[in-house]
Amino acid sequence: MITLLILTLTLSSCRESVPRSPSGTDDFEPAFPALTFVRPLALETPKDGSNRLFVVEQSGRIFVFPNDPAVTKAKVFLDLRTTITDAENEEGLLGLAFHPEYKSNGYFYVNYTAANPLRTVIARYRVTASDPDVADPSSALILIEFNQPFSNHNGGEVTFGPDGYLYIGTGDGGSGGDPYGNGQSLTTLLGKILRIDVDAPARGKNYGIPADNPFAGTSSRGEIWAYGMRNPWRFSFDSVTGALWAADVGQDRIEEIDIIEKGRNYGWNIMEGTSCFKPSSDCDTTGLVLPAWEYTHAVGICVTGGYVYHGSRRPDLAGSYLCADYGNGKVWSLRRGADGVVKANEIAVTGLPIASFGLDNAGEIYLCSFDGKIYHFK
């Protein structure tokens, strides 16, 4: 069974121990040498002209600091440690997204797990009027919550698309093999990419369902944008083309990168990558979208999704999608040709437990590593 955000010594896929390289690598170096975090799994920045960065710790805190390599201290922006549960390795505060109009409305959104019952929560908060570096914990507004049958495969991504809608990544509910068939079910929010309108609440909910969602107005869940996901750990939009790239963590054999399109079925649990899973052979692949790129567990054990690069530190990578493997710290650049074929190039073997990527306002890429450091290209 593949699990994701963990640092135990159990030899089981993503639970496998990984080497540490706190001093950096030949390609990457600590971006903020004086700052150290505990299990940082997201780095985000609002489009508010402040040039600040926000780092999410899995235990429930969000830190803010200036995007300056000489920074010596990060300030706690919001502390949700008494709100969330991180009792198990894939639980906790898992995602952060700033509203496109954050500069004027101060809204941001978080994805976390809560207990009793175990569930995923998508909530909105607001920054305080008196201090841009402090959020108001009393401003919480829960948009969506849905129960989780197991502690693993919680997804965790929240991000706004170029269309202004909020996209949410959900895992299949956990355990192993998707025992409840959530990935292929259109009546559950589990195992999906969701798309909601946070600015137009409707039908008694704190959000609306865009009219052009593929299953809006049907007996299926209207929030669904795409389905057949196992555990989409990080996805992002290309800031130039608008393409949605997602990393879906595999079961026992294959890790995959998908390019997500409206209403499409990405195969889990009929398939794991390009291989049949249930049944193990001669599965019906009709209507299923195969991965844009995949690799086996002979190469790595746990994929971490990233971003299409449009920065200036590495002009040779311009337009390439960067992703990594949590288990061994390999970093790849993927480029999609005019024929739609994706070709991959291994650009680094960092040895870092890369839990997530980040992107700043200049388009520069950051690595969030569970050694506590944030890295960038040298």
In percent, the amount of the chain with pLDDT more than 70 equals: 93
Match 């593949």 to its residue by tokens: 2
Domain span holding position 244? 31-300
Judge whether 168 lies within some domain. Answer: yes
Rg, the chain, Cα only:
19
Count of domains observed in the chain = 1
Residue 6 has pLDDT above 50, yes or no: no
Domain assignment present for residue 292? The answer is: yes
> Is 39 within 8 Å of 5 (Cβ atoms)?
yes
Q: Is the torsion defined by CA of 286, 288, 293, 298 positive or negative?
A: negative
How many whole angstroms separate alpha carbon 365 and alpha carbon 357?
Answer: 7
Region of residue 172 (left: phi > 0; alpha: psi -120 to 50; beta: else): alpha
Phi (first) and psi of residue 96, to 5 degrees: -145, 135
Place of tokens 């994701």: 4
Q: Report pLDDT digits (tens) over 238-296.
A: 999 999 999 999 999 999 999 999 999 999 999 999 999 999 999 999 999 999 999 99
Q: Locate 236 and state its tokens.
A: 């992002």
| pLDDT for residue 38 | 98
Residue 8: pLDDT band with limits 50, 70, 90: very low
Please tell me the total number of residues recorded for the chain in this structure.
378
**For 59-75, what is the mean pLDDT?**
98
Q: Tell me, yes or no, whether 249 lies in a domain.
A: yes
Structural domain contains residue 358: no
The pLDDT of residue 345 is above 60: yes
The answer to whether 372 and 40 have CB atoms below 8 angstroms apart is: yes
- H, E, C per residue of 224-278: EEEECCCCEEEEEECCCCCCEEEEECCCCCEEEEEEECCCCECCCCCEECCEECC
Q: Given strand 192-196, what is the order of strands in its sheet?
A: 158-160, 166-170, 192-196, 224-227
Q: Is residue 287 part of a domain?
A: yes
Q: Lowest mean pLDDT: which of 244-248, 310-314, 336-340? A: 336-340
pLDDT surpassing 60 at residue 19: no
Mean pLDDT of all residues in 330-352: 95
Measure the CA–CA gap between 346 and 328, rounded to whole angstroms.
Answer: 12
What pLDDT shows up at residue 7?
A: 34
pLDDT in the model for residue 24: 55
- Expressed in angstroms, the distance from the first to the final Cα of the chain is 36
Q: Two tokens at 148?
A: 């989780």
Amino acid identity of residue 291, one-letter, is: P
Kindly report the average pLDDT of the chain as a whole number. Answer: 94
Calculate the alpha carbon distances from 6 to 130, 296, 301 in Å: 37, 20, 13
**Is residue 4 pLDDT above 50, yes or no?**
no
* Average pLDDT rounded to a whole number, residues 162-182: 98
This prediction's pTM: 0.94
Contact 174, 153 (CB under 8 A): yes
How much of the chain, in percent, has pLDDT values that exceed 90? 93
- Across residues 3-30, what is the average pLDDT? 51
Q: What is the CATH number of the domain that holds 147?
A: 2.120.10.30
pLDDT of residue 14: 60
Six-digit token string for 67: 């995007």
Is pLDDT above 80 for 110?
yes
Residue 102 lies in a domain: yes
